[in-house]
Amino acid sequence: MAGKEAPMATRRAQTSRESRQLLIRAATELFAERGFRQTTFADIANRSGISRGSIPWHFGNKDGLLQAVIEELTVNMADLDSAAHDLADGLDRVRDQVRQPTMRLLITLVAEAVEPGSPVHAFYAQLHDTIRKWVAGWVAESDIPTGTSRADFVAVVVGAIIGLHQQWRVAPESVDLDRCFVALKAMSISGRDAT
Amino acid sequence: MAGKEAPMATRRAQTSRESRQLLIRAATELFAERGFRQTTFADIANRSGISRGSIPWHFGNKDGLLQAVIEELTVNMADLDSAAHDLADGLDRVRDQVRQPTMRLLITLVAEAVEPGSPVHAFYAQLHDTIRKWVAGWVAESDIPTGTSRADFVAVVVGAIIGLHQQWRVAPESVDLDRCFVALKAMSISGRDAT
């Protein structure tokens, strides 16, 4: 009996992990498409094919689900940093990341990011901080304009990334993302080839 | 009789204009504090001291009220452009504008900016376009880095403004807005004093 229970428990755990992943994927898509508040458990159940009742079982409540979505996103973005050699390479990788459909989430969630009590606020504060650390790591001392600190320079570069993403999401026909990232490199990496 | 009616009608129009302005001001504050969807007519009536029933009379529906809020904001921002001499001066003025409490509205509304049917979408597309035009007007040909077009350079500068604003709203303690604008000027205005 004990010998039979183990594989069944394993299969059950496997199914549970798969359901969890399917729910996270559906929630990520829906939050990105219509925003956090406008998405219901019923929408997520429909999109994922997983029963509505299992959502609180996995995540407690909607904030818990959002937390899981955010953790998944953060894990996926962490690859970005470890792979980049320098600012030019890092910016190329960021540009490719910005194009991902799920990154639209960063626009639909930002309203909640300025509500101090919201889990989204902590996420954005953390996300901005993480990206600033990455960019700081990619920047050579020689790149920083005279009279400017590394921290301020980095905040401007991260600002440009955030603001190019926003302009492009709002009106993709008005902003050429590839060429704008070339311009950002030209402005950020002085005195050497930026393309 | 006709002689008495005219001043009364004038007074009535005056009161109506004042009510309208009070409603727009209250709505601007509330949309900035809690977002568009989270604000009700009852909230706006409470904040403004104007009766709830007069809101549809003035604006039709909530979208109409939002339209009025946006128009007011756009008019206030237009002064910015006409007063600026060049990019350094323009960026100083933009930085001061970014600090205004009502500008928080630009963060709480941005989620709706990526919903193509929403009036907010048209507003952001227009707003980004307007600011890009201002910045393009402030930029001398000599400011643009080699190998970069004016349009791309301008989108990066506008991006940096948007993204600095966002980082500062999320975590004001993490971003020194004054110093970051100095850094943005140093990156944007090559070969001459940017401070």
| Lowest model confidence (mean pLDDT) among A106-115, A148-157, B155-164, B185-194 | B185-194
Q: How far is A145 from chain B (nearest CA, A)?
A: 6
| B155–A180 CB contact, under 8 Å | yes
Distance CA B179, CA A152 (A): 6
Placement of tokens 């809020």 in the chain:
B69
Which one, of A29, A7, B59, A185, lies nearest residue B45 by Cα? B59
What's the confidence (pLDDT) of residue A60? 94
What superfamily would CATH give domain A2-188?
Answer: Tetracycline Repressor, domain 2 (1.10.357.10)
Rounded Cα distance, B68 and B23, in Å:
10
* 8 Å CB contact of A111 and B115: no
- B96 CA to chain A: closest CA distance, Å? 16
Selected residues 13-42 of chain A with any CB under 8 Å from a CB in chain B = 34-35, 37-38
The CB density around residue B95, as the number of other CB atoms within 10 Å, is 19
| ipTM reported for the complex, 2 dp | 0.86
User: Tens digit of pLDDT for each residue in A2-45?
Assistant: 445 567 777 777 788 899 999 999 999 999 888 888 899 999 99
Lowest mean pLDDT among A14-28, A68-82, A83-97, B146-160: A68-82
For the stretch B111-154, pLDDT in tens is 778 877 777 888 889 889 999 999 999 987 777 888 889 999 99
- CA angle A115-B105-B153, nearest 5°? 110
Q: Show residues of chain B in contact with A166, CB under 8 Å.
A: 110, 113, 128, 159, 162-163
Residue A194, pLDDT score: 42
Report which DSSP code applies to A171.
-
| B45 CB-contact burial (10 Å; exposed 0-12 / middle 13-18 / buried 19+) | middle
> Are A149 and B195 within 8 A, CB to CB?
no
pLDDT at B65: 93
Give whole-number Cα distances, B140 to B71, B127, B184, in Å: 30, 22, 16
| B129 to A176: CB separation less than 8 angstroms, yes or no | no
Cα–Cα distances in angstroms (integers) from residue B96 to residues A190, B90, B168, B173, in the given order: 28, 10, 13, 17
Quick one: average pLDDT of B4-23?
Answer: 80
∠ at Cα A113 (A111, A118), nearest 5°?
110
What pLDDT is stored for residue B5 in this prediction? 57
Given CB atoms, is B149 within the 8 Å cutoff of chain A? yes
> Cβ separation of B163 and A163 shorter than 8 Å?
yes
Q: Cα–Cα distance between B137 and B146 in angstroms, integer?
A: 19
